[in-house]
Amino acid sequence: MILVTGATGLLGSHLTAALLLQNKNVRALYRDKSKIENTKQILSYYTNDAEKYLSQIEWHEADVTDYFSLQEAFTGVTEVYHCAGLVSFDQNDSKQLYAINAEGTAHIINTCLDKGVQKICHVSSVTTLQVQTHKKYIDEFSIWKTASGNSSYAITKYRGEFEAWRGAAEGLNVLVVNPSVILGAGCWGQSSTQLITRCHKGLLVYTEGITGFVDVRDVVYCMIKLMGENKFGQRYILNAENCSFKEVTHQLQKNFGKPISKIKAGTFLLNAALVTNAIKSLFAQKRPVINKSTIQTLQSKSYYDNTKACRELDFKFRVVNESLTYVADLYKSHKLH
């Protein structure tokens, strides 16, 4: 029995679909029953019989922040894919980020140890890896540096990864994947798919920050293959290409037939937007879309090295433009329905 946490999220849903299509027995965790529709929708991207495969999932209601809610769900489980996590760069979410990404992972690791789970794939993030002074590219040997500019998201993902390695020290077979920004269809408007929905609505500005991007289907493939090959005690950066936000947003705008954004948002413009956004959110009683962590992300330039995953898995990642076209086409289909 294979258990997937975060099975109603973007990565977890695509992973669940892939496992089902390989005729695996899947047990999936959910917190909100209505979110199971996400998994059904994503299954429909892979098969014309989504209902059939959805019915094969053994669903368990549980919350990674509640240790005791996990006990029954983990009984009889042989392997775990820990995909559950919160993605947010809003400092107001710091407590929730810590509860889910750090403490939640500790609960998952402890339950695996308690229940005799054979192996686990922990989904971390490239944000836990930081550039070294003598290197341009960030690889698996890049180490965490404590700094005032680290976002709460990065800090809590790092602490979650620390819990995974603590589990390994206690005898659990652990492997860690560090994906870059995941491009995938479904769960529209959530986490990384906000980039898709905002480009469809139209963007007036662009930024020239650089980061890594990777197709969700490639992340899923690598995770399953790494688990099958028992690559324990290892971490793998999963990244297709390092692209600027300008390149990605412009490609999406072309795919959607939207005007190409021509205004570069530099430091001054982004900070002005931060103030304006904060004032608007104050009167509208909504959280600001732009914050200091968002600005730092949009302006920073990070380059990730995927050599290890490509070499050890004999694998070639899809190019980013292919992924963007695939996702945009499915989003346009989604909007038509």
AA letter at 81: Y
Instruction: Assign 319 a pLDDT band (cuts: 50, 70, 90).
Output: very high
* DSSP helix, strand, coil percent of the chain (3-state; round to 5): 50, 15, 35
| pLDDT at position 269 | 39
- Which of 31, 181, 175 has the alpha carbon at shortest distance from 96? 31
pLDDT score at 16? 97
Residue 91 pLDDT level (bands cut at 50, 70, 90): confident
Both structure tokens of 91: 């400092």
> Could you give the CA distance from residue 246 to residue 209 in angstroms, rounded to a whole number?
8
Which amino acid makes up residue 189? G
Give the mean pLDDT of 296-322. 90
Among residues 142, 138, 57, 153, the alpha carbon closest in space to that of 102 is found at 153
The pLDDT value recorded for residue 274 is 33
At 191 the pLDDT is: 82
Of residues 197 and 277, which shows the higher confidence score? 197
Question: Do 201 and 335 meet the contact criterion of CB atoms below 8 Å apart?
Answer: no
pLDDT class for 278, splitting at 50, 70, 90?
very low
Over range 59-69, report the average pLDDT: 95
Q: What is the mean pLDDT of residues 234-262?
A: 93
d(CA 164, CA 80): 12
Q: Encoding tokens for residue 310?
A: 């490509």
Highest mean pLDDT among 33-37, 119-123, 139-143: 119-123
Instruction: Give the three-state DSSP class for 330.
Output: helix
SS3 call for 263: strand
Find how far residue 235's CA is from the centre of its chain: 16
* pLDDT for 105: 98
Q: What is the DSSP string of 100-158?
A: IIIIHHHHHHHHHHHHT--EEEEE--GGG----TT-SEE-TT------TT--HHHHHHH
DSSP characters for 14-60? Answer: HHHHHHHHTT--EEEEES-GGGHHHHHHHHTTT-S-HHHHHHTSEEE
Cα R_g (the chain), whole angstroms: 20
pLDDT confidence of residue 296: 59
Specify the pLDDT at position 35.
Answer: 93
pLDDT band per the 50, 70, 90 thresholds, residue 251 = very high
Q: How far is CA 308 from CA 135, 150, 240, 278, 313, in A?
A: 16, 26, 12, 42, 8
pLDDT in tens, 287-297: 545 555 555 55
User: What digits encode the pLDDT tens for the residues 103-113?
Assistant: 999 999 999 99
Structural domains present in the chain: 2-183+213-240+304-326 (3.40.50.720)
CA-to-CA distance for 197 and 309, rounded, in angstroms? 30
* % of the chain exceeding 90 in pLDDT: 71
Strands 210-215 and 241-244: antiparallel
CA 138 – CA 130 distance, rounded (Å): 6
**Cα four-point dihedral sign 43, 44, 45, 47:** positive
pLDDT score at 255? 94
pLDDT for 165-223, tens place per residue? 999 999 999 999 999 999 999 999 888 888 899 889 887 777 888 999 999 999 999 99
| Mean pLDDT, range 217-231, rounded to an integer | 97
Is-contact 109 147, C-beta < 8 A?
no
Q: Which amino acid, one-letter code, is at 18?
A: A
CB atoms within 10 A of CB 30: 23
Task: Give me the mean pLDDT over the 132-159 stretch.
Answer: 85
Instruction: Over range 158-164, report the average pLDDT.
Output: 96
Q: Mean pLDDT for the chain?
A: 88
